[in-house]
């Protein structure tokens, strides 16, 4: 697999295909037994998640993993741990809460008071504050109502238009392929199909042989 700078790529496939494992390996949470992972021309195999984060790879994990007992503001501040310039910290924080107004409204409230969709916005905002050059998103629509899913993908579209490099894992295969410029289809840990948006959506194998009609129509 490869992702070019400024590109949005998705990884789709059935449960157990290895989608989340791929993102966790890139972000350093899982150590590969073999193979190579490079970012901007340098290997990142063996680096810790913190080192990989500081290189510019931000992960929005499956299930959001926000800290419910901390306030929304404290969760956001965790995303800026590597920032040293106080004035830029304040400016970037203001920009993020302007993008996600609900976070401004609940800034001082415990994060567990947010709905699932609001927590997903918090997880994305926290990752953005790490100044990522590449964002990894694992199932951002998981468990969300359709209207909230639409909002999450609107945010991702805005980020793509701003030039943020995105690697997206999604169970909602058709929506993910429609969003990304290119996609990889995984099955039992292997890439079985890949291609551009128009190519995959026009391929019967994508909808049936690899994903199954139910998943492809989500």
CA-to-CA distance for 185 and 89, rounded, in angstroms?
Answer: 38
CA-to-CA distance for 13 and 96, rounded, in angstroms?
Answer: 32
Whether the model clears a pTM of 0.95, i.e. scores above it, the answer is no
- Tell me the sheet residues that pair with 8: 166
Q: What is the mean pLDDT of the chain?
A: 85
Residue 2 lies in a domain: no
Residue 203 lies in a domain: yes
Token pair, residue 151, equals 């909002």
Q: Which residue has the tokens 């920032």?
A: 83
Residue 56 belongs to what domain range?
8-216
Can you point out the beta strands (E) in the chain? 8-12, 38-39, 42-43, 57-60, 134-138, 165-169, 182-187, 190-196
What pLDDT was estimated at residue 214? 40
The number of distinct structural domains making up the chain is 1
CA-to-CA distance for 100 and 148, rounded, in angstroms?
Answer: 13
Residue 12 lies in a domain: yes
DSSP element (H, E) containing 144: none
Residue 204 lies in a domain: yes
In this prediction, residue 171 has a pLDDT band, given cuts at 50, 70 and 90, of confident
Q: Which residue has the tokens 């991702």?
A: 156
What pLDDT was estimated at residue 87? 64
| Chain CA centroid to CA 185, Å | 17
| Chain CA centroid to CA 65, Å | 13
Per-residue pLDDT reduced to its tens digit, 97-148? 888 888 889 999 999 888 888 888 888 888 888 888 899 999 888 877 788 7
Write the CATH number for 197: 3.40.50.300
Residue 194 lies in a domain: yes
Residue 213 scores a pLDDT above 70: no
Residue 1 lies in a domain: no
Residue 3 lies in a domain: no
* Least confidently predicted of 51-55, 82-86, 167-171: 82-86
Q: Which residue has the tokens 């913190």?
A: 50
* φ, ψ dihedrals at 57, nearest 5°: -110, 115
Per-residue pLDDT reduced to its tens digit, 184-198? 999 888 998 899 998
Number of residues that this document lists for the chain: 218
Q: Which residue has the tokens 């639409």?
A: 150
In this prediction, residue 212 has a pLDDT band, given cuts at 50, 70 and 90, of low
Residue 152 lies in a domain: yes
Token pair, residue 188, equals 């039992």
CA-to-CA distance for 121 and 148, rounded, in angstroms?
Answer: 10
Burial category of 17 from C-beta neighbours within 10 Å (exposed 0-12, middle 13-18, buried 19 and up): buried
Of 31, 53, 42, 103, nearest to 73 by C-alpha is 103
> Could you give the percent of the chain with pLDDT greater than 70?
89
């Amino acid at each position: 697999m490869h992702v070019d700078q400024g590109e949005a790529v998705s990884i789709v496939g059935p449960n157990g295909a290895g989608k989340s494992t791929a993102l966790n390996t890139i972000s350093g949470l899982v150590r590969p037994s073999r193979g190579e992972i490079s970012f901007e021309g340098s290997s990142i195999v063996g680096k810790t998640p913190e080192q990989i984060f500081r290189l510019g790879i931000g992960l929005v994990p499956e299930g959001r993993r926000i800290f419910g007992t901390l306030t929304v503001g404290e969760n956001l501040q965790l995303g800026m741990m590597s920032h040293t310039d106080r004035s830029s910290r304040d400016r970037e924080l203001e920009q993020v809460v302007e993008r996600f107004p609900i976070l401004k409204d609940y800034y001082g409230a415990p994060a567990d008071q947010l709905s699932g969709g609001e927590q997903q916005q918090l997880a994305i905002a926290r990752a953005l504050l790490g100044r990522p050059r590449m964002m990894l998103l694992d199932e951002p629509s998981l468990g969300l109502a359709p209207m909230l899913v639409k909002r999450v993908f609107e945010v991702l579209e805005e980020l793509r238009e701003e030039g943020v490099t995105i690697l997206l894992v999604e169970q909602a295969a058709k929506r993910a392929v429609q969003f990304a410029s290119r996609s990889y289809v995984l099955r039992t840990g292997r890439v079985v199909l890949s291609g551009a948006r128009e190519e995959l959506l026009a391929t019967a194998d994508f909808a049936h042989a690899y994903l199954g009609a139910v998943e492809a129509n989500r």
